[in-house]
A and B are shown apart, each in its own frame.
Chain A
Amino acid sequence: MLSAANAIPRYFLPWDRPWLPQVAAWLARDWQPDGPLDLSTTLAIVPTRQSARRLREALAEHAAACQSAVFPPRAHTPDTLLAACVPAGAVATRLESLLAWTEVLRHVEFGSVAAVFPVPPVRRDFGWARRTAEAFFQLQSQLTEGGLAFADVAARATHEAERWAQLALLERMQLTELAARGRREPHEALRAGARQPKLPAGITRVVLLGLPDPLALSLDLLLAWSREISVEVVVFGPASEADAFDGWGRPLPEVWSERRIELVDFEQRVHACANPSAEAERVVAMTQCYPSPDGSIGIGGANADVLLPLERALAQVSIAAYNPEGRRRKEGGFYSLLAALAELTRDPSFAAVAAFARCPEFCCYLQTAAAGDFTAATFLAQLDDLHARHLPVDLARALAVNRERDSALGVGLRLVEGIRAMLTRGEFPQNIMAALTLMVGARQLDLEEANDVIAADAMEMWRDVLGECAAAWASFPEISTAEWTEIALEAFGESRRTIDKPAGALDLQGWLELLWEDAPHLVVAGCNDGSLPDAVVGDAFLPEALRETLGLKSNAARFARDAYLLQALAASRANSGRLDLLFARQSAAGDPLRPSRLLLRCAEQALPARVEFLFRPLPAARAGAPWTRAWAMTPRRVAPPERVAVTGLRAWLACPFRFYLSHVLRMEPVDSSKTELDARDFSTLCHAALEAMGRAPFLRDCTEEKVLREFLVAELDRVAGARYGRDLTLPLVVQLESARQRLGKVATIQARERAEGWIGLRMEWAFALKIAGLEVRGKIDRVERHEGTGALRVLDYKTSDAATPPQKSHLRWARPDDDLRPAWRRTVAAGREQVWTDLQLPLYLRALAIEFPGTPVSCGYVNLPKAVGDTALVLWPELDESLQASAQACADGVAAAIRAGDFWPPVESAAERDPFAALFHHGVEASVAWEGTT
């Protein structure tokens, strides 16, 4: 074919200045400026969309210089050219082609393709079929570049012949699947189109402009045309270099693999950077040297990974960047809405509901549909609340446990339910369209408002995707609605939104586009080996060896292309302008990276110095700034409370400041990941059962352990059922089991104690004490009276995992750093200095002393901890008058302190894991600015 191509005239444009203006001038070379510059009969083949755009711009400028305008040439990239030559109609879309594959894969008899699938998939489901189809489709595309089908490979492959034979078989089946639906396989169509291409109407000449690696297949086509109309090749490079290119203007590997690349002031212009973000910062620094960067500096990335950091870095200094690649719609908001909808359809788990409920579109819908008497925020808050309370696993159960139907929650949930009903009942795609229209249909999009334009674009795209799916459905009826949704969602997510370049924005260009950049200063980031040149090493289907046998694009060809491009860029900026090349020593993920091999294409004797320069250890980074506090927290200050629960005193004793946060500001986190009972839920359940036991008159004198146990368990199940529904989730089953065990032990004790004469007197007896102006409220689990002595006893049920005796949970040994504490916190017990940590039982006694003056009262815990044999009734004999008195004094002190708003200083080290840790850094006291502290 090369020989044939030799018939084609090649023109060379010198590379001592940028290419773009030259090529514009070349196209216009025999134009008389009295009329428009009419190139409409010319077909220009250019490497990328972006280069076509640049060409038109350059031509416009060229004409403008003579106050005229342009009828531009028709432009194609090699692949759009091929696509354009496919006779219209009957060709399957990418989607249909993929679906045909999935059909094949779902039904093929694996025995017949054992060489392709040595290990058959466990589940031969749609997901598997689709991912595999994707792989095969890609393989088809790669081969089609060289005009090959699987069968052609099978014919030529030296290795794995059997595997390829079977692949060919599979491909035939795919073609049949499509044929059966009256469709042609797109790759096959491309190849056919290239074989007898039809000349586009009105085209009299074709020019290949700066095209170092056209698709092989497109060349067959051009060769065919060259026999009827003029086909010309324009190469960026001096005529003296003619021998370095083949007839199509492709750099010759044998030449360029050996050739030196001339780079001026190498050590000044090649920059080793620690990592991509360091590269980005460097590029930004250069950009900022220009008053108007656009047009002065052209930025390119030799691999895609550097573009994102670049975009971010530029944005941080408020320089607009324009990525011609556009942005994947997956990153947009509309996609997340669709994803949420799909998830809700697939599986209405509570998580799915919660996610969907947080889509702004739903919130708006809720607001309007609910006639605005409450806000979305209320709904979300109530939703979290419902979750924390009832742990529903899915929508149905959420609806079931929700009491107030007309609350924001009730309304919201029903709306979700309604939408889900639409999605599940209706047919694809009407179902999802209906749901969307219901939610967002009313929204008015203002086409001058940026966000609305984006939304409009997304909706149009989605509409078209669905259109395509609907069309394809006719031929693939067996695919389920869910599968269609999956397909459509993916197609939408992968599509890209490209916009016109905003004025003044900087293009972030790919490597291949840089040739067409006419800015005098070029900066190329990401010049790392593996991306410049990009090299394929190891492949499941097409390893290098095979590529070469098949004449597909080989690493050698890639190397030649990139070597040439780099040389061209360097040369075109050598006299005026500048070229900077950056590479990273480490990827963002921390993998070591190497500089591009191209940077080492120098004279042999210069090589050692180059290597030492490029691989020199980078000066270690300076130490990061020392830890600095951005600000000290200033908590809201509210009036001290007038009443607290008994537990509040414990909290205050533990840490006055945390008490303020938890009991005064009522700071409480929402844990959306909660899947089981927390300690509080657990004890609530147990207490409910115990209370019921105590209140049940017929059990008052019961000494039958068994009866009591059965009652407790039944009661527990009733309460749990009422709160969490009848069918419990796995963790709850386990937890309730644990609760039953523990309650069972209480039954034992209860029976014994009753036999010994203790009779329940009060259950959950609520009291309130006025202490130093503070109302302290409490609820006593159980008050008993001894039928013999008439003595009273106070019992508190403890469900914490470890059984601690009252003394230990009320007092702790004094530490040297307690000295500052007020005296009333301290006491002497068990013959040593101790500190009050809780006042619960003493306060209970105090309350009872008022209720039953003069009666002797003892107190203790009934522990329901986990360890077998641990459950027991533990009294507190040591609590004598003096200790009780000291406790009273302490209570008075605490109450007074709370009333006085004395919540400072905090305790630095919280007892167990600190729920407020997120607020504190390097010291609690240091983290908070507490005005009014002395």
Chain B
Amino acid sequence: MILASAGSGKTYALTNRFVALLAHGAAPERIVALTFTRKAAGEFFDEILGKLARAARDAVFAKQLAGDIGRPDMDASDFLRLLRAVVDAMPRLRLGTLDGFFARIVRAFPFELGLTGNFEILQEHAALVERRRLLRRMFSNGSAGLDEAQREFIEAFKRATFGAEEKQLARRLDGFLDEHLETFLAAPAAELWGNPACIWPDGSEWLTAEPGQVAEAVTTFRGQMAQRDLNEKQAGRFTAFFEALALWSAGAPLPRAISYLLENILDEWAHVRRGSAEITVERRKVMLGPDECRSVATIVRHIIGGELGRRLEITRGIHVILRSYESVYHDAVRREGRLTFGDVQRLLLPRPDGPMLGGEEENETGGRLMIDFRLDAQFDHWLLDEFQDTSFGQWSVLRNLIDEAVQDPTGARSFFCVGDVKQAIYRWREGDPNLFHEIFDHYNQAVPGTIAEQHLVASWRSGPAVIECVNAVFGRGDVLAGLFPGTASESWNRDWRAHESARPTLNGQVAWLHADDEAARFALTVRLLHELAPLERGLECAVLTQKNATATALADYLRREGGIPALAESDLHIATDNPLGAVLLALVQAAAHPGDRFAQEHLAMTPLRAVLDRDGLHTTEALTTRVLAQIHADGFERTMAFWLKRLEPQLAPNDLFSRERGRQFLAAAALFDATGGRSTADFVAFMERHVVRDADLAGVVKVLTIHKAKGLGFDVVLLPDLEGDRIDQRREGLAVQRTADRTVEWVLDLPAKLFFNHDETLAAHVRAAEMEACHEALALLYVAMTRAKRAMYLITSPPGKSVSRNYRMLLAETLGSSARPLTVGKLACVGAWATGDTGWHESIAPRAEEAARPSSPLTDGMAGIVPALRRPARRPSAGQSGCVSAAQILSAESGLAVQFGREVHALLAEVEWREMADPAEWTLCAATPRAVAEARACVAAPRLADVWERKAGLEVWRERVFEIVLDGAWITGVFDRVLVDRDGTGRVVSARVFDFKTERLPRSGEVKDAVLRHQGQINLYRRVVAVLTGLEPAAVCCELIFTHEGARATVPWP
């Protein structure tokens, strides 16, 4: 178990571990290495190969690596062997993401897990479409009106939104699903939701007051207060209180008149309960005796109880809503084999009744899923990356497999995990840093020393300046404890180890600078970047923010105000962030909804209008008809491509951006088409949500959120977005209380502070939540401050203004708060702390653009190339012309006619000579009696006698396929029947071509136009026969045979 501080070579440790396992004889495919992001997985593999490759060709490195992995005996040739082994095992390797690994297991056990056949992973958009579809279904009602479930749903919704009768249902519902669905799936049981018995097993004093008592208490207390000699300010307070109380009902906002006294009473709550208290009213004490306390207590309990009761009700309502949605969703989506990654994981969660993942040793019974066999693998060694982000659920899925490995008696198997609790910034995504210590204890309690722990504190990323700052801030256990008393600081300090830099010579600077407000912070960012000129110096530079929105705004600002090539690595809405995409969407909308005046006018504001006019689409009618038809026939990508081409000339020649967006738009449209959808509404929704994450770009200042920066390193890092209130704020949303093994104890829609503050259970829950939040916030700052290699600049407003325990205060307490002039190179600023070399960057010479690796010149080796011959392909019968009505095609008869024709031809092809024709045999074959009859008649027809006549020297070609090059075209065709007559020398003297037509001739029996129709085809046959026989075309006789009439017609040679 490796606790690797930031930059301390986590990947290095992992890859070494992998190599070590190989070196000690583990088969590559028996090692499972799981990471969180696909990117990380890819890099991990590349690292391993890189390492082995280098060791294989560099003896010195080989020696070193051999040492590192505890096999000093190994040399380059050994590593070459390992390299080959890994390469050959590539497809069987198990390096990937947890999600991917789980999905693979599920694919191997669909039936065992209650799925049918294959399943697809629901991507975000698809999931959204599903939700819309389901909600519509839940909303609509049969002619019988609403059903039971719907009535229940409505009741629930009323409860869930009690005190705020909703005007708009859908939005609120989306909110519920977005916020609470995960919670529900973790705790579907109704009794956990808003159930006082779970929250207060021994009852809650707040829920005791009965209406009768309350009324009574109010009257008494009012009377009691009337007797007291209060100054009229105080009297006023009480009167106001009682009046407001009379009007107030739970759920209504608490008027100041009530809250004022309530707060003051609660401040003395302990005494009030004891029956004697002094409460402050208008800065003067008011003594309350036992009787008064009793009535006051009743009133207070009534108020608080009222609110709590309402919250309990709301929570239960929410549960029912989620449950009703879930039940529909489960049947309609999951059962149909469409799963999200979350579903996949839940499928694998061990359940008392369900099957369990297991390995070979176990006997096949006992509902174990033998992953070894179906995944063609046996997993001996487990490597888990970023372990602090592993969720309890993920761990539960793996636990049994890893148990097997850890507890393997032979010790031939192993478990290895790397992570850093100090970087646990994904709690909100179920990341569960506590696992780290729990697992450690779990295994070591069983058998001490099962798991060894190792701390990595030397940073291979950051230079001394950065490390000094990190230590100065996070090393101050005392300050942390003082600012954030409780488990947050405790666990932080427990895991903390002083960092050191493994690159002592790397010079740089760290400074904490002040700027008054956001504008000033942005401005200072620009000035710093101009001073440092990182790009010109070939330094990677990043500006980190807390929120995506800030990143986007800041990047915009840097480009606009600073002329700095900055790029927000947040997701780009390529379809909506530019006029081109916007108008293409408007086009679709306008076409699908002719009445949409918005879209219509939108088109009219853009060059597209002129384009449409030029295409003759002046009216909405024309537009609708044309564009809908296009979409219908070709899908969105092609339709959009068509109009994009038309629009292209309207773009400025140098407008590369819009053209790039155009391409991205088409690519996205293609993705949508792939879903098989044709709904314009879905398309527009898809495009509006579609985002493109820019691949890592060189030569730009990257502006990104701290979360996205995790795992990355930059020469220079700027932190201009560290503002915010107290960092130990509990995350909004339902309160979910969990036990040690993470099972949910209760769920509650938490009321305002005033209402829970004096309830131990709730207050305790909130405190714990705040501790977690606090720890996560510290982790976030830690991650932010450990991205820098050389230099880091923290920019905040000057400390001291506020008293809230936020980042600014933390910095002030640890780095000192007295402002003084500081310099960064030639730039003079004000700040409170700095270290390192102010001129560090000046020593780095601006370097010239080094040319990118010359990719192989395209044209070399093409010079001598002689193209292979390519000719247009033609078929005589193809290129049929004329019109045919749809009805005709659709009619079943036409289908039969085609088949009938085929059969008759097939039958006649069997006939070599008339006397050989064996109708008996025909009737055996699959052909319809009608076809047989017609063929038979055709052979028997006196008028056609010579077609079937056998003669000496006569050669017959039946259904003979030919290939020929004629007039530069490659022609493929089939002769129905050709009779070739040879003389004694074998020279061809005559040839007759017969082409069978099964079509019915018009009543008149008129064959002329039939001949006209077919003579193109037939004369082509004539020429082919001429080539094949050496005859003159004119000498070849060609006839059409009408099988139905048994008629024949000669086709003339023009």
A600→B91 CA distance, assembly (Å) = 13
Q: Separation in Å of the B397 CB from the closest CB of chain A?
A: 16
Q: Is B373 in contact with A543, judged by CB distance below 8 angstroms?
A: yes
Residues of B199-254 whose CB lies within 8 A of A = 247-249, 251-253
In the complex, residue of chain A having the shortest beta-carbon distance to the beta carbon of B673: A331
Q: Is A134 in contact with B697, judged by CB distance below 8 angstroms?
A: no
Asked if A11 is at the interface (CB within 8 A of a chain B CB), the reply is: no
Q: Is A673 in contact with B593, judged by CB distance below 8 angstroms?
A: no
- List, in ascending order, chain A residues with CB within 8 A of B375's CB: 537-538, 543
Q: Is B91 in contact with A597, judged by CB distance below 8 angstroms?
A: yes
- List, in ascending order, chain B residues with CB within 8 A of A545's CB: 373, 376
Asked if B556 is at the interface (CB within 8 A of a chain A CB), the reply is: yes
Asked if B929 is at the interface (CB within 8 A of a chain A CB), the reply is: no
A635→B609 CA distance, assembly (Å) = 11
Asked if B178 is at the interface (CB within 8 A of a chain A CB), the reply is: no
Q: Is A135 in contact with B118, judged by CB distance below 8 angstroms?
A: yes
Q: Is B866 in contact with A520, judged by CB distance below 8 angstroms?
A: yes
Asked if B848 is at the interface (CB within 8 A of a chain A CB), the reply is: no
Q: Separation in Å of the A400 CB from the closest CB of chain B?
A: 10
- List, in ascending order, chain B residues with CB within 8 A of A292's CB: 867, 870
Asked if B168 is at the interface (CB within 8 A of a chain A CB), the reply is: yes
- List, in ascending order, chain A residues with CB within 8 A of B91's CB: 529-530, 535, 537, 555, 597
- List, in ascending order, chain B residues with CB within 8 A of A433's CB: 890, 892
Q: Is B862 in contact with A521, judged by CB distance below 8 angstroms?
A: yes
Known: A36-B1028, A500-B875, A738-B167. A520 touches B868 (CB 8 A): yes
Q: Is A734 in contact with B157, judged by CB distance below 8 angstroms?
A: yes
Q: Is A623 in contact with B163, judged by CB distance below 8 angstroms?
A: no
- List, in ascending order, chain A residues with CB within 8 A of B602's CB: 667, 918-919
A648→B548 CA distance, assembly (Å) = 36
Asked if A330 is at the interface (CB within 8 A of a chain B CB), the reply is: yes
Q: Is A463 in contact with B895, judged by CB distance below 8 angstroms?
A: yes
Q: Is A501 in contact with B873, judged by CB distance below 8 angstroms?
A: yes
Q: Is B970 in contact with A60, judged by CB distance below 8 angstroms?
A: yes
Known: A286-B858, A538-B107. A336 touches B373 (CB 8 A): no
Asked if B758 is at the interface (CB within 8 A of a chain A CB), the reply is: no
Q: Is B964 in contact with A737, judged by CB distance below 8 angstroms?
A: no
Asked if B853 is at the interface (CB within 8 A of a chain A CB), the reply is: yes
Asked if B280 is at the interface (CB within 8 A of a chain A CB), the reply is: no
- List, in ascending order, chain B residues with CB within 8 A of A442's CB: 885-887
Known: A608-B53, A630-B651, A734-B154. A333 touches B856 (CB 8 A): no
Q: Separation in Å of the B549 CB from the closest CB of chain A?
A: 14
Q: Is A333 in contact with B632, judged by CB distance below 8 angstroms?
A: yes
Q: Separation in Å of the A546 CB from the closest CB of chain B?
A: 8
- List, in ascending order, chain A residues with CB within 8 A of B1027's CB: 36, 67-69
Q: Is B57 in contact with A295, judged by CB distance below 8 angstroms?
A: no
Residues of B946-963 whose CB lies within 8 A of A = 960-963
Residues of A361-392 whose CB lies within 8 A of B = 363, 375-378, 380-382, 384-385
Q: Is A734 in contact with B53, judged by CB distance below 8 angstroms?
A: no
Residues of A582-638 whose CB lies within 8 A of B = 585-586, 590-592, 594, 597, 600, 604-605, 607-609, 611-612, 615, 617, 619-631, 633-636
In the complex, residue of chain B having the shortest beta-carbon distance to the beta carbon of A337: B632
- List, in ascending order, chain A residues with CB within 8 A of B556's CB: 922
A60→B678 CA distance, assembly (Å) = 44
> Chain B: interface residue count, which band?
35 or more
Asked if B59 is at the interface (CB within 8 A of a chain A CB), the reply is: no
Asked if B767 is at the interface (CB within 8 A of a chain A CB), the reply is: no
In the complex, residue of chain B having the shortest beta-carbon distance to the beta carbon of A530: B91
A898→B685 CA distance, assembly (Å) = 36
- Type the 1/0 row for A317-355, where 1 means its CB is closer than 8 Å to any CB of B: 000000000000011110011010000000001010001
The residue from B118, B170, B578, B964 contacting A60, defined by CB atoms under 8 A apart: B964
Q: Is A869 in contact with B247, judged by CB distance below 8 angstroms?
A: yes
Q: Is A377 in contact with B565, judged by CB distance below 8 angstroms?
A: no
Asked if A255 is at the interface (CB within 8 A of a chain B CB), the reply is: no
Q: Is B367 in contact with A735, judged by CB distance below 8 angstroms?
A: no
The residue from B169, B594, B859 contacting A735, defined by CB atoms under 8 A apart: B169
Asked if A721 is at the interface (CB within 8 A of a chain B CB), the reply is: no
Q: Is B42 in contact with A611, judged by CB distance below 8 angstroms?
A: no
- From B138-146, B398-406, B524-532, give the one contacting chain A: B138-146
Q: Is A592 in contact with B963, judged by CB distance below 8 angstroms?
A: no
In the complex, residue of chain B having the shortest beta-carbon distance to the beta carbon of A359: B632
Asked if B882 is at the interface (CB within 8 A of a chain A CB), the reply is: yes
- List, in ascending order, chain A residues with CB within 8 A of B865's CB: 296, 520-521, 576-578
- From A113-121, A707-715, A752-760, A788-796, give the one contacting chain B: A113-121
A433→B582 CA distance, assembly (Å) = 40
In the complex, residue of chain B having the shortest beta-carbon distance to the beta carbon of A61: B869
Asked if A269 is at the interface (CB within 8 A of a chain B CB), the reply is: yes
Q: Is B145 in contact with A727, judged by CB distance below 8 angstroms?
A: yes
Q: Is A376 in contact with B621, judged by CB distance below 8 angstroms?
A: yes
Q: Is A592 in contact with B41, judged by CB distance below 8 angstroms?
A: yes
Residues of B627-671 whose CB lies within 8 A of A = 628-629, 632-635, 637, 641, 650-652, 655-658, 660, 663, 666-667, 670
Q: Is A539 in contact with B962, judged by CB distance below 8 angstroms?
A: no
Q: How many residues of A contact B (CB 8 A)?
A: 198
Asked if B46 is at the interface (CB within 8 A of a chain A CB), the reply is: yes
A165→B597 CA distance, assembly (Å) = 66
Asked if A498 is at the interface (CB within 8 A of a chain B CB), the reply is: no
- From A125-133, A174-182, A415-423, give the one contacting chain B: A125-133
Asked if A160 is at the interface (CB within 8 A of a chain B CB), the reply is: yes
In the complex, residue of chain A having the shortest beta-carbon distance to the beta carbon of B150: A730
- From B109-117, B508-516, B741-749, give the one contacting chain A: B109-117
- List, in ascending order, chain B residues with CB within 8 A of A243's CB: none
Q: Separation in Å of the B531 CB from the closest CB of chain A?
A: 21
Q: Is A730 in contact with B153, judged by CB distance below 8 angstroms?
A: yes
A675→B586 CA distance, assembly (Å) = 22
Known: A604-B84, A622-B699. A635 touches B331 (CB 8 A): no
The residue from A69, A447, A630 contacting B578, defined by CB atoms under 8 A apart: A630
Q: Is A440 in contact with B886, judged by CB distance below 8 angstroms?
A: yes
In the complex, residue of chain A having the shortest beta-carbon distance to the beta carbon of B1028: A36
In the complex, residue of chain A having the shortest beta-carbon distance to the beta carbon of B336: A127
Asked if B680 is at the interface (CB within 8 A of a chain A CB), the reply is: yes
Q: Is B376 in contact with A621, judged by CB distance below 8 angstroms?
A: no
Q: Is A918 in contact with B248, judged by CB distance below 8 angstroms?
A: no
Asked if A474 is at the interface (CB within 8 A of a chain B CB), the reply is: no
Q: Is A612 in contact with B140, judged by CB distance below 8 angstroms?
A: no
Asked if B709 is at the interface (CB within 8 A of a chain A CB), the reply is: no
Q: Separation in Å of the A908 CB from the closest CB of chain B?
A: 14
A672→B885 CA distance, assembly (Å) = 36
The residue from B109, B889, B970, B972 contacting A540, defined by CB atoms under 8 A apart: B109
- List, in ascending order, chain B residues with CB within 8 A of A609's CB: 53, 57
In the complex, residue of chain B having the shortest beta-carbon distance to the beta carbon of A445: B884
Q: Is B886 in contact with A672, judged by CB distance below 8 angstroms?
A: no
Q: Is B886 in contact with A735, judged by CB distance below 8 angstroms?
A: no
Q: Is B597 in contact with A667, judged by CB distance below 8 angstroms?
A: yes
- List, in ascending order, chain A residues with CB within 8 A of B248's CB: 869
In the complex, residue of chain A having the shortest beta-carbon distance to the beta carbon of B115: A119
Asked if A692 is at the interface (CB within 8 A of a chain B CB), the reply is: no
Q: Separation in Å of the B658 CB from the closest CB of chain A?
A: 4
Known: A447-B881, A628-B656, A918-B576. A538 touches B620 (CB 8 A): no
A742→B150 CA distance, assembly (Å) = 23
Known: A64-B965, A619-B852. A277 touches B667 (CB 8 A): yes
Known: A355-B679, A537-B91, A623-B699. A921 touches B869 (CB 8 A): no
A210→B159 CA distance, assembly (Å) = 73
Residues of B452-507 whose CB lies within 8 A of A = none
Query: In the complex, given contacts A286-B858, A592-B39, A727-B145, what are 6 additional A-B residue pairs having Cβ atoms less than 8 angstroms apart?
Result: A384-B595, A440-B886, A590-B38, A623-B567, A668-B598, A729-B141
Closest 8 CB pairs of A and B: A592-B42, A381-B595, A441-B887, A503-B872, A738-B165, A69-B964, A64-B965, A620-B698
21 contacts between A and B (CB under 8 A): A61-B965, A70-B963, A70-B964, A116-B111, A119-B114, A121-B114, A123-B335, A433-B892, A445-B886, A445-B889, A456-B889, A460-B889, A520-B867, A535-B91, A607-B83, A623-B698, A623-B699, A665-B601, A730-B140, A866-B165, A870-B252
